Amino acid sequence: MTGHIEGFADGPAAAGSEATGVARPGSASIRDVAQRAGVSHQTVSRVINGHPSVREATRQRVQGAIGELGFRPNRAARALSLGTSRAVTVITSDTTLYGRAMILHGVEEAARAAGFPVGVCVLESPEPDAVSRAIERSCDPTAGGVIVIAYDLAGIQALRAVPAGIPVAAALEVTDAEDRARYPSVVLDDRSAARAATRYLLDLGHRTVHYVAIPSSTRSSARTQGWRAALQERGIPAAEVRPAGWTPHSGYQASQQLAADPAVTAVLCGNDDLALGVTHAFREAGRDIPGTVSIVGFDNTPQSAYYHPPLTTVRLDFVGVGHDCFQLLHHAIDPTAPTTPTVAAPPELIVRASTGPPPRRTTRPRKKP
């Protein structure tokens, strides 16, 4: 099955020039519009920018000419002249991760509403070279502003590498006090959320809670900290963190040993995808969920409510974080911008069917049917 690329066609038929037609395909300039409307190009500029001091009749004439010529203002020229542009670019690693994708979506929505084009700049790694290449792509002198998702080392390095003079806002981990003091930023308190989720499991009667973690390039992620804190406050020693990746597959692999150990009755997972893989591993080991083990995730993805069993998880309002980041940036760029109130909701535990009390003190594992 080949040939699914239609490619290398001639592109759209050289759009039929209308009766009133413009000559150059390079499209009309402000001067062409001016000529047609019988005014100076400055006046056209004023009309475009909604400057108040333009006679209504003039404005109409100019608008007419704009329409007839299909004039679209040249953004580059505007940016050069102004020394800045109304545009935002989101700097992040891997846009396919749920949290990143949702923040990007939130930023995009807010930016669109405010008339800002949005760019995406992906970090390849936290290496200095990769970071400066990203900065190069996103921070030219006329860049409007950047939003960096600094949930990992690459993001943090990028944030710190943003040249002075470029407006910036950041999505940060709660635990990153240093950068929170330094940059306008928005934070989701997933440390508290992890603590709350762990307490919830403990309150259910579980003797301890194990943790399967998403990657964290910083020393100790907020979620790990919260989990640890909840254990510590009850004098329970924390078992070793099971490090995993981001995918269900990695969760599956990381939890093989846990699934084989009947003493493991509660597992907190760094995200819902991991939880899906962990669930699979336990089921494969013949363990009923939540009969013999309780599983909790993070994110509240649209899928999690339809897992089998439906997953208890922590809702994280990433879209709200994106909105707020944009608002912060907008304010930094233009202090007269309407300062919309915060929208990001605090994390919240959503209890579903994947959690319950621990099994009655049976130490033997269930056999596979």
Contact set with DNA (CB under 7 A): 26, 29-31, 38-43, 45-46, 48-49, 52-55, 57-59, 71, 73-74, 77-78, 80-83, 141
d(CA 231, CA 209): 8
The pair phi, psi for residue 21, each rounded to 5°, is -25, 145
Of 79 and 206, the one with the shorter C-beta distance to its own copies is 79
User: 147 with 168: CB under 8 angstroms?
Assistant: yes
β-pairing, 312-315 vs 348-350, is antiparallel
CB of 45 to DNA, least distance (A): 3
C-beta of 48 vs 238, nearer to its own copies? 48
**Residue 14 touches which member of DNA, its own copies, none, C-beta under 5-8 Å by kind:** its own copies
Question: For its own copies, which is the closer residue by CB, 26 or 52?
Answer: 26
Contact partner, 45, from its own copies, DNA, none, Cβ < 5-8 Å per class: DNA
Q: How far is the CB of 292 from its own copies (least distance, A)?
A: 16
Phi, psi angles (nearest 5°) of residue 93? -90, 165
Task: Indicate which of its own copies, DNA, none lies near residue 41 (CB less than 5 to 8 Å, by partner kind).
Answer: DNA
| Of 167 and 359, CB closest to its own copies | 167
Residue with structure tokens 């909840």? Answer: 230
Binding at 23: pick from its own copies, DNA, none (beta carbon under 5-8 Å per type): none
Rounded CA separation 14/33 (Å): 22
Q: Tell me which of its own copies, DNA, none is bound by residue 39, counting a contact when its beta carbon lies within the kind-specific cut-off of 5 to 8 angstroms.
A: DNA
Closer Cβ to its own copies, 241 or 278, answer by number: 278
Smallest distance from its own copies to CB 237, Å: 28
For residue 85, the minimal CB distance to its own copies (Å) is: 7
In what helix (H) or strand (E) does residue 199 lie, and over which residues does it extend? helix 190-203
Q: Let me know: does 222 contact 174? Beta carbons within 8 Å.
A: yes
Q: Least distance (Å) from its own copies to the CB of residue 169?
A: 8
Among residues 346, 298, 344, the alpha carbon closest in space to that of 325 is found at: 344
- Pairwise CA distance, residues 363 & 348, whole Å: 33
Report the candidate in 248, 250, 226 with the shortest Cα–Cα distance to residue 238: 226
Q: Choose the one of DNA, its own copies, none that binds residue 57, judging by a C-beta under 5 to 8 angstroms depending on kind.
A: DNA
Nearer to its own copies, 206 or 330 (CB): 330
Residue 327 tokens read as: 């608002």
Tell me how many degrees the CA angle 24-30-31 measures, rounded to the nearest 5: 80
**Do 216 and 248 meet the contact criterion of CB atoms below 8 Å apart?**
no
CA distances from 215 to 83, 197, 274, 306 (A): 40, 19, 11, 25
- 53's contact among its own copies, DNA, none, with CB below 5 to 8 A by partner kind, is DNA
User: Could you tell me the smallest distance in angstroms from the CB atom of residue 168 to DNA?
Assistant: 20
Q: Which does residue 117 touch among DNA, its own copies, none (CB within 5 to 8 A, set by kind)?
A: its own copies
- Smaller CB distance to its own copies: residue 113 or 263? 113
| Residue 71 or 246 having the CB closest to DNA | 71
Through-space distance between the first and last CA atoms of the chain, rounded to whole angstroms: 44
